[in-house]
Chain A
Amino acid sequence: MFRNQYDTDVTTWSPTGRLFQVEYAMEAVKQGSAAIGLRSRSHVVLACVNKAQSELSSHQKKIFKVDDHIGVAIAGLTADGRVLSRYMRSEAINHSFTYESPLPVGRLVVHLADKAQVCTQRSWKRPYGVGLLVGGLDESGAHLYYNCPSGNYFEYQAFAIGSRSQAAKTYLERRFESFGDASREDLIKDAILAVRETLQGETLKSSLCTVSVLGVGEPFHFLDQETIQKVIDTFEKVAEDEEGEAGEGDAEAAAAPAEQGGGGAGDQDVAPMEM
């Protein structure tokens, strides 16, 4: 009832002790297209959906390399995400320069969170409208963190953010206990399956998703379309066999398994600027 009176700027509390501007910023994250992260003991996989604004345009980059051992996937205002990625890269480079060693992931996310918090306590600023899934490897192992516009951050075994992420989260909740000891290939497969959940009926093609991997002895890099397509083919074919359909392992078979898997949360339309 009183939301409209207390939501004009970020430095105004509501009577119930909330900062509405910060909460609105978190809404912006939910509007962005999905990003998913999962980790095992030795690897971290980040994947996202490539949603182009129109058929004429290209899709926006949502996964960024921060350093050989850290990558970040974003959802929400991609422009804010780009700026924060640049900040993260510079932090990693500066740490490397001073200490001749790679920046521990936990330190990086704290810097990020502190930077986000500043924007929640200045009247002339606005919170960053982007959620970040930071995946990285350091001496203490593989980590996946989620940084909110609020300045909070949490560590996860697996997480999904953005529109229709609930579907992916449901899938991940079912499977996360096996991730710790999973092989690199299984982890990638799970990531792509989670992406499929967010597509809800749309055929899964390698052009629709971007997948990145980092791990022990493996610096951050993107998987090429062929590799992704091969993984898709393995489970599309299996699903088709299970359904007992005749015919080749076509992407059209995705319709059947997607019906079983899709969580189907009634999400709002994706707002144009946040895709």
Chain B
Amino acid sequence: MTKQHANWSPYDNNGGTCVAIAGSDYCVIAADTRMSTGYSILTRDYSKIHKLADKAVLSSSGFQADVKALQKVLKSRHLVYQHQHNKQMSCPAMAQLLSNTLYFKRFFPYYAFNVLGGLDEQGKGCVFTYDAVGSYEKVGYSAQGSGSTLIMPFLDNQLKSPSPLLLPAQDAITPLSEPEAVDLVKTVFASATERDIYTGDKLEIMILKADGIRTEVMELRKD
């Protein structure tokens, strides 16, 4: 007798793509605004980017109900941290917290594919990329979600991040200027939108710098 499979799944994939690029004193976090289920569109105007702390911004694709629950947990934990330490969490601290929170549900995971972007304690841009159960790595750039396989090879080609295995260790930071990075993100999303049905509608870009956060919105193809 073949194994019985569930006819109901607790998960759904709402699609979409998230990208982040770290600069010397800035970080760019971008995501499309399309939310889908199956072959249908639920809405063309859903933000997948959320500010967790002054210097840490999370962008997640996957199952948005799990993403929302994850954000709520992180927001509450951040409040507790602020009460105890009298300051906001740094991006590397938030990165570790996110990893622990994800692994906490190792046996019923948050179906969330996260990219955390922000500024580290020295003011340099940093990007952390995750899998669904909390394995994470600090990188110079990353893409997650339905369009990630189309975007990552192109970012590799353009940004040439040195291997973390090299000795002496080389900086993972991209020597791009902020306008160049924003432009690259726009290009990359325009391309992904062409071939990935789950990516499109609008592109939301958040640029994090020491003096604050700026947001840009760009139209994408709606088909």
Task: Name A's B-contacting residues (CB within 8 A).
Answer: 65, 86, 89-90, 93-94, 96-97
CB of B76 within 8 A of CB of A96, answer: yes
Point out the residues of chain B lying under 8 angstroms from A94, CB to CB: 76
Query: Hey, what's the 0/1 contact readout for B45-86 against A, CB within 8 Å counting as 1?
Result: 000000000000000000000000000110010011001000
What are 14 A-B interface contacts by the 8 Å CB criterion?
Answer: A65-B83, A86-B83, A89-B79, A89-B80, A89-B83, A90-B80, A93-B76, A93-B79, A93-B80, A94-B76, A96-B76, A97-B72, A97-B73, A97-B76
Residue of B nearest to A97 (CB): B76
Point out the residues of chain B lying under 8 angstroms from A89, CB to CB: 79-80, 83
A96 to B77, CA, bound (A): 12
A93 to B79, CA, bound (A): 8
Which 9 A/B pairs are nearest by Cβ-Cβ distance? A93-B76, A97-B76, A89-B83, A93-B79, A97-B72, A93-B80, A65-B83, A96-B76, A89-B80
Point out the residues of chain A lying under 8 angstroms from B72, CB to CB: 97
Point out the residues of chain A lying under 8 angstroms from B76, CB to CB: 93-94, 96-97
Point out the residues of chain B lying under 8 angstroms from A93, CB to CB: 76, 79-80
Interface of B is mostly: helix
Point out the residues of chain B lying under 8 angstroms from A65, CB to CB: 83
Task: Name B's A-contacting residues (CB within 8 A).
Answer: 72-73, 76, 79-80, 83
Least CB distance from B72 to A in Å reads 6
Residue of B nearest to A90 (CB): B80
Least CB distance from A85 to B in Å reads 9
A96 to B79, CA, bound (A): 11
Least CB distance from A68 to B in Å reads 10
9 other A-B residue contacts (CB within 8 Å) besides A96-B76, A97-B72? A65-B83, A89-B79, A89-B80, A93-B76, A93-B79, A93-B80, A94-B76, A97-B73, A97-B76
Least CB distance from B94 to A in Å reads 17
Of A86, A93, A96, most B-chain CB atoms within 10 Å: A93
Of B72, B73, B83, most A-chain CB atoms within 10 Å: B83
Residue of A nearest to B82 (CB): A65
Point out the residues of chain B lying under 8 angstroms from A90, CB to CB: 80
Least CB distance from B74 to A in Å reads 11
Residue of A nearest to B69 (CB): A97
Least CB distance from A252 to B in Å reads 35
A90 to B72, CA, bound (A): 14
Point out the residues of chain A lying under 8 angstroms from B80, CB to CB: 89-90, 93
Residue of A nearest to B80 (CB): A93
Residue of A nearest to B83 (CB): A89
Residue of B nearest to A94 (CB): B76
Residue of B nearest to A85 (CB): B83
Residue of B nearest to A65 (CB): B83
Point out the residues of chain A lying under 8 angstroms from B73, CB to CB: 97
A94 to B72, CA, bound (A): 10
A198 to B32, CA, bound (A): 60
A65 to B87, CA, bound (A): 13
Residue of A nearest to B78 (CB): A93
A79 to B212, CA, bound (A): 38
Point out the residues of chain B lying under 8 angstroms from A86, CB to CB: 83
A90 to B79, CA, bound (A): 9
Point out the residues of chain A lying under 8 angstroms from B79, CB to CB: 89, 93
Residue of A nearest to B86 (CB): A65
A97 to B72, CA, bound (A): 7
Point out the residues of chain B lying under 8 angstroms from A97, CB to CB: 72-73, 76
Least CB distance from A220 to B in Å reads 12
Residue of B nearest to A64 (CB): B83
A89 to B80, CA, bound (A): 8
Least CB distance from B50 to A in Å reads 14
A90 to B80, CA, bound (A): 8
Residue of B nearest to A92 (CB): B79
A65 to B86, CA, bound (A): 10
